């Protein structure tokens, strides 16, 4: 693979000289004529005109992609890890020879935790910068805001966050898990190993927790034997007082607390849970919203013992992951932690590269069509594959939090789980 890439680099630098001789010609005819001339001569090194028929920002030596996350505002805390992972992946791809012989250059835009800004910047990336792909967005709201833009201007978005599902687009590859992937296996596990029969559902009040809890409730009531939901509760984002609900939990004595609380509320919830004497090593708590990133703020000692259901943990024991963690820490410092979304963000550039190489083209339509079946064997989480519905086949894992803020993986689904963004029977 690497020798191929070296070749293509050499070829493209030759072609660049050739092109420079024609610099007087206007840009568009230049590209097409260069393509015509060079196609037979350099069959192995794909010519720009051949791999880019829609005028994306692809030159003979470079291809431009966009990174679109919040660097400022309330979401900056969460999205920083994704930006870091995407930059790492791009660096690594470039070091390995780039994509179709072209180095990846990125343009980073700040969504500023503001959804119209996301839409504007997405449009700028697609219309002004003509980027070949965008790695970005974190919250559902930002994705919903940019989705019409991507569909209208035919762009490609690699979206890293685990999310509520109920969406599928030609123009988006979802590298995180959709809700059923994340939820069902974890519930099965908790029922089997912890003998969980009664569940208390608690979440922040917005679309992701509500949809997730809906799926969880359907599964608990319809698919798990003799199990029931004894309470379901939502709190406004930013809520900081949980003593009343903790009393309710004490009253109901559920076997399992199933939590999807986010942001600052998360910190308050676990601190108050611990203070109220609910010992997470005895009371089973399964959450779908706490990754290594969140534990930083909650404090490892407040969360130790709880279970988290994710597709990736920093502590995963496989060669891919060890390499990834080492590279990430080398680039961003020893103290950084890597959560589920960060890893999913890292997949974005790689999956895009593999797809482009399979399609032999940067054209969005060709990438969208070629995405199904793309396999990435070097993924830190193991092996992933893109499903025709543009979500990933992935394993689901349950980790138990340790006082040092890391998870010990206690369960892993034996097979990859099929993504099902519109689950029948769960809506």
Nearer to other proteins, 85 or 359 (CB): 85
Q: What is the DSSP string of 23-81?
A: TTS-HHHHHHHHHHHHHHHTSSS--HHHH-SS--SB-SSEEEEEEEE-SSSTTHHHHHH
* Distance (Å, whole) CA 212 – CA 229: 14
User: Taking CA 354 as the corner, what is the angle to CA 381 and CA 81, rounded to the nearest 5 degrees?
Assistant: 45
Closest approach of other proteins to the CB of residue 159, in Å = 14
Nearer to other proteins, 39 or 240 (CB): 240
The CB density around residue 423, as the number of other CB atoms within 10 Å, is: 19
Nearer to other proteins, 79 or 363 (CB): 79
Closest CA to 280 of 290, 197, 319: 290
> Residue 126 has what DSSP assignment?
I
Nearer to other proteins, 149 or 190 (CB): 149
Closest approach of other proteins to the CB of residue 298, in Å = 6
189 Cβ partners below 8 Å, 6+ apart? Answer: 398, 411
Nearer to other proteins, 348 or 423 (CB): 423
Nearer to other proteins, 75 or 379 (CB): 75
Closest approach of other proteins to the CB of residue 6, in Å = 37
* Distance (Å, whole) CA 248 – CA 15: 71
* Distance (Å, whole) CA 409 – CA 268: 25
Nearer to other proteins, 10 or 252 (CB): 252
Residue 85's SS3 state is: helix
Closest approach of other proteins to the CB of residue 310, in Å = 19
Closest approach of other proteins to the CB of residue 396, in Å = 22
Residue 198 has phi, psi (to 5 degrees) of -115, 135
Closest approach of other proteins to the CB of residue 19, in Å = 28
* Distance (Å, whole) CA 35 – CA 51: 10
- What is the strand order of the sheet 228-235 is part of? 228-235, 198-204, 256-260, 284-287, 307-310, 397-401, 407-412
Closest approach of other proteins to the CB of residue 198, in Å = 12
Q: What is the DSSP string of 159-192?
A: E-S-B------TTEEE-S-BHHHHHHHHHHHHHH
* Distance (Å, whole) CA 185 – CA 232: 20
Nearer to other proteins, 239 or 385 (CB): 239
Closest approach of other proteins to the CB of residue 165, in Å = 9
Nearer to other proteins, 243 or 318 (CB): 243
Closest approach of other proteins to the CB of residue 297, in Å = 3
Closest CA to 176 of 164, 162, 166: 162
């Amino acid at each position: 693979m690497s020798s191929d890439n070296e070749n293509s680099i050499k070829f493209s630098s030759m072609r660049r000289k050739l092109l420079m001789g024609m610099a007087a010609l206007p840009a568009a005819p230049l590209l097409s004529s260069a393509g015509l001339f060079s196609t037979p001569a350099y069959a192995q090194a794909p010519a720009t005109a051949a791999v880019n028929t829609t005028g994306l920002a692809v030159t003979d030596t470079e291809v431009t992609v966009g990174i679109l996350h919040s660097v400022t505002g309330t979401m900056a805390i969460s999205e920083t890890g994704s930006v870091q992972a995407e930059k790492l992946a791009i660096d690594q791809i470039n070091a390995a020879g780039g994509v179709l012989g072209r180095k990846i250059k990125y343009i980073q835009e700040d969504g500023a935790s503001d959804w119209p800004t996301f839409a504007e910047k997405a449009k700028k990336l697609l219309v002004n910068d003509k980027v070949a792909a965008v790695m970005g967005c974190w919250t559902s709201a930002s994705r919903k805001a940019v989705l019409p833009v991507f569909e209208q201007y035919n762009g490609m978005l690699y979206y890293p966050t685990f999310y509520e599902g109920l969406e599928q687009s030609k123009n988006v590859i979802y590298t995180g898990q959709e809700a059923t992937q994340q939820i069902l296996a974890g519930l099965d596990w908790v029922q089997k190993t912890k003998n969980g029969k009664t569940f208390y559902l608690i979440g922040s009040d917005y679309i992701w927790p509500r949809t997730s809890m809906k799926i969880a409730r359907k599964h608990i009531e319809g698919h798990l034997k003799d199990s029931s939901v004894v309470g379901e509760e939502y709190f406004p984002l930013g809520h900081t007082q949980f003593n009343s609900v903790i009393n309710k939990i004490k009253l109901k004595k559920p076997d399992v607390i199933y939590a999807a609380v986010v942001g600052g509320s998360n910190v308050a919830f676990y601190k108050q849970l611990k203070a109220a004497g609910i010992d997470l090593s005895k009371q089973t708590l399964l959450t779908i919203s706490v990754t290594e990133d969140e534990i930083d703020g909650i404090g490892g000692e407040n969360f130790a013992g709880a279970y988290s259901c994710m597709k990736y943990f920093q502590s995963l024991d496989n060669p891919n992951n060890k390499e990834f963690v080492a590279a990430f820490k080398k680039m961003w410092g020893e103290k950084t932690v890597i959560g589920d979304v960060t890893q999913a963000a890292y997949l974005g550039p790689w999956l895009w590269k593999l797809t482009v190489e399979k399609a032999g083209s940067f054209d969005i339509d060709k990438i969208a069509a070629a995405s199904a079946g793309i396999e990435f064997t070097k993924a830190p989480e193991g092996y992933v594959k893109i499903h025709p519905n543009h979500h990933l086949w992935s394993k689901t894992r349950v980790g138990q939090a340790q006082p040092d803020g890391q998870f010990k993986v206690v369960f892993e689904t034996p097979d990859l789980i099929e993504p099902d963004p519109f689950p029948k029977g769960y809506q």
